């Protein structure tokens, strides 16, 4: 018996498209092609930051051009490698006049609240009081629709100090946990930044980090002060809303 058809949101992350390295654009193009070939087609695509390596206008134009092959709405967020102004110039937000690059959007049966966790010139993230108050207010606007909260820095400890130093501070993670615990319609927090698939939780809310479309981080607990990258398969995530629930899949890209 055929079950209900899922509504799919594809998540791409950390393409780090660079003026100095054509490979990264080619790899993003591969991921875009893989998403475009899905049947049923995703209803939306979310790109969770580090779109560009250096934050130059040319890099964002390349990202925009590559993503324009997707027929469905595409929503992006900034990461620590991004430049807020250049990002906004290539991916304008309708009606948004605040400093943060953040928004809410409806994706089929889901609502997505995109948060800005970036600090200009810094690799670590921040969800200081004003940002959490904004998120709380957005979540309070609609307490019925199953909601995905998206951001660049995952509110998780990786257990690898070098990563955790450029994550979200303990106090910000704890405060975010209080916000989402008051909003049980938040089904998932999705993020990027760590360049690998990671699953954890913040209170009762699952937290998911997506692999990069470019390069992955080495799973290395033996050298906790070192961040290493490794050419493991690039991938993307598919969040499937089905029968009122949300299930997340990870799909490698390429010929494996
Ligand atoms: Fe990244
Ligand atoms: Fe990042």
Instruction: Show pLDDT as tens, one digit a residue, over the chain (256 residues).
Output: 677 889 999 999 999 999 999 999 999 999 999 999 999 999 999 999 999 999 999 999 999 999 999 999 999 999 999 999 999 999 999 876 789 999 999 999 999 999 999 999 999 999 999 999 999 999 999 999 999 999 999 999 999 999 999 999 999 999 999 999 999 999 999 999 999 999 999 999 999 999 999 999 999 998 888 899 999 999 999 999 998 899 999 999 998 8
Closest by CA to 101, choosing from 123, 79, 77, is: 77
How high is the pLDDT of residue 141?
A: 98
CA 3 – ligand 1 centroid, Å:
37
How high is the pLDDT of residue 96?
A: 67
How high is the pLDDT of residue 17?
A: 98
What is the C-alpha to C-alpha distance for residues 5 and 194, in angstroms, rounded to an integer?
31
CA 64 – ligand 1 centroid, Å:
17
Contact by Cβ (8 Å): 53, 17: yes
E strands, 137-244, are: 147-150, 186-191, 198-202, 205-209, 216-217, 229-230, 235-242
How high is the pLDDT of residue 80?
A: 98
Closest by CA to 27, choosing from 180, 214, 205, is: 214
How high is the pLDDT of residue 244?
A: 87
CA 142 – ligand 1 centroid, Å:
31
CA 221 – ligand 2 centroid, Å:
19
What is the C-alpha to C-alpha distance for residues 158 and 248, in angstroms, rounded to an integer?
19
Closest-approaching ligand to the CA atom of 78: 2
What is the C-alpha to C-alpha distance for residues 78 and 169, in angstroms, rounded to an integer?
18
How high is the pLDDT of residue 112?
A: 98
CA 217 – ligand 2 centroid, Å:
11
Q: How does DSSP classify residue 93?
A: P
Model confidence pTM above 0.85:
yes
What is the edge-to-edge ordering of all strands in the sheet holding 186-191? 103-107, 110-114, 147-150, 186-191, 205-209, 198-202
CA 50 – ligand 1 centroid, Å:
5
Cβ density class 117-153: b for 16+ within 10 Å, e for less: bbeeeeebbebeeebbebbbebbeeeeeebbbbbbbb
- The token pair that represents 38 in the structure block: 């899905």
CA 85 – ligand 2 centroid, Å:
17
């Amino acid at each position: 018996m055929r079950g209900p058809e899922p509504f799919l949101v594809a998540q791409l992350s950390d393409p780090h498209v660079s003026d100095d390295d054509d490979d990264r654009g080619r790899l993003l193009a591969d991921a875009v092609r893989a998403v475009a070939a899905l049947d049923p087609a995703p209803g939306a695509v979310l790109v969770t930051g580090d779109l560009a390596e250096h934050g130059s206008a040319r890099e964002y134009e390349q990202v925009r051009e590559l993503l324009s092959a997707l027929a469905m709405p595409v929503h992006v967020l900034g990461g620590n490698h991004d430049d807020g102004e250049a990002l906004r110039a290539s991916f304008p937000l309708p009606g948004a006049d605040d400093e943060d690059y953040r928004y809410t959007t409806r994706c089929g049966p889901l609502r997505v609240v995109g948060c800005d966790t970036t600090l200009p010139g810094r690799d670590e993230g921040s969800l200081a009081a004003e940002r959490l108050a904004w998120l709380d207010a957005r979540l309070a606007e609609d307490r019925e629709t199953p909601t995905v909260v998206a951001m660049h820095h995952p509110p998780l400890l990786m257990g690898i100090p070098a990563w955790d130093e450029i994550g979200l501070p303990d106090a910000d993670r704890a405060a975010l946990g209080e916000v989402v615990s008051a909003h049980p319609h938040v089904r998932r927090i999705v993020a990027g930044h760590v360049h690998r698939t990671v699953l954890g939780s913040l209170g009762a809310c699952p937290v998911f980090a997506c692999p990069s479309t470019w390069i992955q981080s080495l799973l290395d607990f033996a050298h906790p002060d070192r961040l290493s990258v490794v050419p493991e398969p690039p991938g993307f995530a598919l969040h499937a809303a089905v029968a009122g629930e949300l299930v997340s899949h990870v799909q490698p890209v390429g010929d494996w």
